[in-house]
């Protein structure tokens, strides 16, 4: 299989930056939100951490060294703090320009290893069901930078926010996940790094929650 054309676009577009990695921001919605005035101090629903502390804005969220307390309420509240995670990424990969990488949505659907991280679909997966494309009971849809699986029980969305290519050729992708069980109260929002060693290998989670 030939390397995707968008990798060539990325290398061309990012050849002038000053960091060791080539990278591209992919989500226009997330960029707009983190570039809003006062986003770091904007008041959000209080979020609890395992050290007993509670935060209500990105400035305090980014100071935390402990983990988010694992409760249903906190899992739902984390949707408001995805901006904070993007702000953290922006410190390492400063926003310069927004790019659209053809094929990234299809890559999330067909080349992301569902066995490599925790989510509500995982207990239902058969050994041969590795990607969202392998699931047969629900509806699969793609939109620019995201892939969504939807059935009577579950809403599951993966959205790519940041693509990084290291000098050694490793590719990393920051993905935001929405995972909801319709028949209960489970709903979680989180972001995580996925990586692959070549354009033809599967994306696998790094330090998954």
189-207 residue pLDDT tens? 999 999 998 889 999 999 7
Instruction: Choose among 177, 173, 196, 203: nearest CA to 121.
Output: 177
Instruction: Choose among 110, 148, 143: nearest CA to 29.
Output: 143
114-170 residue pLDDT tens? 999 999 999 999 999 999 999 988 999 999 999 999 999 999 999 999 999 999 889
Predicted TM-score of the model (pTM): 0.87
Residue 171 parent element (H or E): strand 171-181
Is the Cβ–Cβ distance between 58 and 42 less than 8 Å? yes
């Amino acid at each position: 299989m030939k390397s995707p054309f968008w990798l060539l676009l990325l290398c061309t577009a990012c050849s002038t930056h000053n960091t060791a990695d080539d990278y591209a921001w992919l989500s226009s919605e997330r960029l707009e939100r983190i570039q809003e005035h006062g986003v770091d101090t904007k008041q959000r629903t209080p979020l609890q951490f395992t050290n007993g502390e509670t935060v209500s804005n990105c400035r305090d969220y980014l100071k935390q060294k402990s983990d988010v307390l694992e409760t249903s309420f906190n899992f739902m509240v984390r949707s408001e703090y995805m901006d904070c995670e993007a702000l953290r990424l922006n410190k390492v990969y400063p926003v310069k320009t927004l790019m659209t990488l053809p094929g990234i949505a299809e890559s999330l659907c067909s080349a992301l290893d569902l066995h490599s991280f925790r989510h509500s679909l995982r207990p239902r997966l058969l050994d041969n069901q590795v990607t969202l494309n392998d699931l047969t009971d629900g509806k699969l849809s793609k939109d620019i930078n995201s892939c969504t699986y939807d059935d009577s029980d579950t809403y599951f969305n993966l959205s790519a926010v940041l693509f990084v290519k290291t000098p050694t050729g490793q590719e990393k992708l920051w993905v935001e996940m929405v995972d909801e069980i319709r028949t209960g109260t489970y709903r979680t929002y989180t972001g995580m790094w996925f990586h692959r060693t070549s354009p033809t290998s599967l994306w696998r989670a790094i330090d998954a929650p």
